[in-house]
Structure 1
């Protein structure tokens, strides 16, 4: 029998004007230290999916996909892509929602002419402007997100201004979350667990994989959030990570069979604060090699709980997390840990799939080793991480873990439920 899932929303934490002031004060102090007169912050389209470039929402508490001009002295201006944003802002204000940017500080559109006008309006023709969006944001934006034509027009209009990349420095500034943000992350983590439990309660032999996917997403929607499309593969030994192929190619979803594995990465997103949940779900007894791989991944997970403590560097934590792999005799599929809120750093790993996967030699060569990003970053309380160790023997891949917060002394584990192999609990479909 499929287990019933409670879909009550419960108490939803919110961001107050005090949280707005905390963030804006941080930004102004940052600009003062860096000798910056203003920040120009580009935001990505609101339907960008996992790991979005959404720094604009940190300043606005509004819809993603805007451009923000934040002067060190004065009020920020938010440039909107279309009229629907103003209509949503008006309706939110009418309903009594907490909106951070008043209507007199909204502009349209957000093309180069609007940016030029906003910079001129704020008297920044000869200013030093920190730009968020010029620097690489892997993997989706290896050269930044700012369009060349737009940027060329802005620079041409202000030849006396100095534009300097500020995204990475701002990222590290905002990674330690405040108390209100941590409450939202905890809420997001609870929703993510509910999504996974719904998948476990649906999966069974004879059930289309799309029904398992739908059960997880529905559990997220029912709890008042809009989760990003999950990474989701099934099969006897799936060795891939990405959206299900029927989401981008016209083909039927697989029907689950006894002995299958559901390998998924579940993305919960509550009010722009993200959590991740790694799922390795078996239909029946797991293969012995999968059990072995899960034991190694679990050892790495436990090492991560001990390693993600304040005062250490991210690189030191990554090294500790990967120690259980050293003599295990299998192979590492991908990074075991990366930052969340925002996603600016990921653990390094040896990318030797071409030697491990049959047929991989026909594909473009991969780097032999991916180094740890931002290895020098010092861990601080309030930082959030996806702790997702993975290990494989042959084709049998175990991917475990969830979201962890760096506490005042030790790591705070939010999702122990997904830090282990899971077993399907749905009702098998019987032939007529």
Structure 2
């Protein structure tokens, strides 16, 4: 078989993985946690599995990682029944670092007969480890049948939510991660440039999205989402996923695109802009200046120790003062291996900002005639924010 080193598009360094493991084990010791259990089933918000192993979850089929405080990891994936693989067995085809063995059995999430197949393997592995306290990571991404089976079979074990302790560690980026995030942003600049350069009447949205995606993949992206929307000037071009990208552009139309693809190493940033196949209306230009001012207003409030609720409330106060709709969903958040990573800059997340977090700021609102927004990434510095990671000009592009 082909060695794994010849198959990988990119790879996080082993010292970087060891840094993460060491910080995690120190956190576990502090909180009396013997084992962490995490599960992800796709890459867009599958950050725990990727952060610990450098291998993404995939295809909607859960990957489980068991992370003991005093041993190497155990991974559970879908595969032939009875599979037990080790680094010694696999040789140079083994993709996992810091993993002692891979367990597999057949299962998918749509087969009710397999609801506890992966959980049964996890229970057996955990019993051998004899933990007194297990920390969950990513409960929202874990299928119910898995978690319920572990609680039922390991009823004497104390289960705690470890995300509140780990997320502040995961969100602060190392120098290696920061450089990779810069590369992702640069890749997205070029993908957007390619899409706008190709835009002309008669093209379908999905064609422009395909151009952006190909450019991103040519530069090292391996996964991600690209949303788009189009409409005549005067009608809001609300963006959507590929299922809603079937509209054909006409002369004078506006086209908006959000590029949320990863870059080398698998880390995400996101870039969003709007172009017009002609001239933008004065209404569009005026509203864009308000959105840009809203972004600048938020950037002035980003600094270590700042609380998400305060940033959220300040943004909505700005929107009210300008007689524009308040945010009701999410307008800023951290990013990394997840498209949306904590802290979410909203009033229900207590996690304060810290230096070297990567934050996306994308104020967005709809009026009867416009869909107004922009989206960019920044690092939190010791006294504020860095220069914008994206170098795409902040404007409505008139093509």
The two structures share one fold, judged by TM-score above 0.5:
yes
Contact 2:171–2:342 (8 Å) recurs in 1: no
Look up the match of 1:269.
262
2:331 matched residue in structure 1? 336
The separation in 1 between residues aligned to 2:324 and 2:287, in whole angstroms, is 8
* Structure-2 separation of matches of 1:146 and 1:409: 37
Matched with 1:131 is 136
1:277 Cα offset (Å): 0.8
Structure-2 residue corresponding to 1:59: 52
* Contact 2:230–2:237 (CA under 8 A) maintained in structure 1: no
Offset at 1:391? 3.5
1:411 alignment partner, SS class:
coil
Aligned to 2:199: 203
Shift of residue 392, structure 1, vs aligned partner: 3.8
SS of 1:266's partner is strand
For residue 309 of structure 2, give the secondary structure of its aligned residue in structure 1.
helix
Deviation of residue 188 (structure 1)?
0.9
1: CA distance between counterparts of 2:38 and 2:90? Answer: 23
Aligned to 2:390: 415
Residues 90 and 254 from structure 1, CA distance in 2 versus in 1: closer, same or farther, beyond 3 angstroms? farther
Distance in 2 (alpha carbons) for counterparts of 1:152 and 1:314: 32
1:381 equivalent to 2:355? Answer yes
TM-score using structure 1 length: 0.77
User: Structure 2 length as normaliser, TM-score?
Assistant: 0.83
2:199 aligned with 1:225, yes or no? no
For 1:417 and 1:322, locate their aligned partners in 2 and report how far apart those are by CA, in whole Å.
Answer: 26
Cα distance, 1:403 vs structure 2:
1.2
1:257 to 250, 260, 265: 250
Alignment of 1:27-46 (within 5 A): 27-46=24-43
Confirm or deny that 1:164 pairs with 2:139.
no
How far 1:345 moved relative to its partner?
Answer: 4.1
Q: CA RMSD in A?
A: 2.8
Alignment-derived partner of residue 126 in structure 2: 119
Secondary structure of 2:321's aligned partner: coil
Is the alpha carbon distance of 1:386 and 1:107 closer, same or farther for their aligned partners in structure 2, counting shifts above 3 Å?
Answer: same
Task: Give the paired residue count.
Answer: 366
Q: For residues 423 and 185 of structure 1, what CA distance do their matches in structure 2 show?
A: 29
Q: Match of 1:182, SS?
A: helix
The yes-or-no answer on 1:183 pairing with 2:179 is yes
Give ranges in structure 2 of 5+ residues lacking alignment.
1-8, 106-116
Cα shift at 1:36: 1.0
Name the SS for the 1:180 alignment partner. Answer: helix
CA displacement, residues 287-342 of structure 1 (integer Å, 9 cap, x when unaligned): 11111110001101212332222222222333444454233233356532122124
Give the superposition deviation at 1:79: 1.6
For the Cα contact (< 8 Å) 2:359–2:379, is it kept in 1? yes
Counterpart residue number, 2:109: none
- Aligned equivalents of 1:284, 1:86: Cα separation in 2: 60
Please give the per-residue CA displacement for 1:219-245, whole angstroms capped at 9, x wherever unaligned.
Answer: 111112124231111112335332144
- Give the 3 Å change call, closer, same or farther, for CA 319–332 of structure 1 in structure 2: closer
**How do residues 3-18 of structure 1 correspond to structure 2 at under 5 angstroms?**
14-18=11-15
CA contact (8 A) 2:16 2:176 kept: yes
Change (3 A) 1:220 1:278: same
- Larger deviation: 147-156 or 186-195? 147-156
Q: By how many angstroms is 1:101 displaced?
A: 3.1
| Matched residue SS, 1:267 | strand
